[in-house]
Amino acid sequence: MRLRITEVEAYAGEADPGSHAYRGRTERNGSMFGPPGHAYVYFIYGMWYSLNLVCGPEGQASGVLIRAGEVLEGVEQARERRPKARKDLELAKGPARLATALAVDRELNGADVCTHEDTAPLSVLAGEKVDPGAVKSGPRTGVGGDAAHYPWRFWLADDPTVSPYRAHKPRNRSSARA
């Protein structure tokens, strides 16, 4: 399969209240602490996987969540994995949909994404150059609290594969119990 990345979000580890590493290293987030060029895959809401690329120096947690993309090769495989997608442009529109379309799961957590061997389960390659004016930034999707103001979500403007922005909505725990 081949995917063109169209949307990402950055996370600054222990300095970022929106990051899984904010409270320090755990078994779950250990791969975020490096080495760079590896995958951090986590399970969310008890249903979905999400793919991040570790990008900081070893020992300092950081990552970039791959939020959306366009499947360029392997569309049939992606359709089999995402049968509810109405259009091909929706196959990888959102982090969980992207991971599902690419068959990303915890087995890929810690995988070296910079190796370009034919046997590598996941590789990140240089893509075509993008006009810098076509790249937009804004707040991260669903991130609240002290981290809500960071404009660390980046996407290609007007690209139909970009997921919709969703502001953080705090849960009201008292009404959740009712």
Q: What is the block-wise mean pLDDT of the chain (178 residues), using blocks of 10 residues?
A: 97 93 93 95 90 95 97 97 96 97 96 89 92 95 88 96 85 57
Q: Report if residue 70 sits inside a domain.
A: yes
Domain hosting 147: range is 2-167
- Token pair, residue 170, equals 């705090």
Q: Left (φ > 0), alpha (ψ -120 to 50) or beta: where does 103 sit?
A: left
Q: Report if residue 178 sits inside a domain.
A: no
Say what the pLDDT of residue 14 is. 93
Q: Which of helix, strand or coil describes residue 93?
A: strand
Say what the pLDDT of residue 44 is. 87
- Residue 8 near residue 69, CB atoms below 8 Å: no
Q: What is the CATH number of the domain that holds 32?
A: 3.10.300.10
Say what the pLDDT of residue 174 is. 59
E strand segments, the chain: 2-11, 39-44, 48-54, 63-73, 135-138, 153-156
Q: Report if residue 175 sits inside a domain.
A: no
Say what the pLDDT of residue 46 is. 77
Q: Report if residue 63 sits inside a domain.
A: yes
Q: Report if residue 82 sits inside a domain.
A: yes
Q: Report if residue 173 sits inside a domain.
A: no
**Number of structural domains in the chain:** 1
- Please calculate the CA angle 19-104-12 and round it to the nearest 5 degrees: 15
Q: Which of helix, strand or coil describes residue 41?
A: strand
- Residue 108 near residue 54, CB atoms below 8 Å: no
Q: Report if residue 36 sits inside a domain.
A: yes
Say what the pLDDT of residue 177 is. 47
Say what the pLDDT of residue 169 is. 76
- Residue 53 near residue 29, CB atoms below 8 Å: no
Q: What DSSP string runs through 102-151?
A: TT--GGGTT-BSS---TT-S----------GGGEEEEPPTT--GGGTT--
Q: Report if residue 67 sits inside a domain.
A: yes
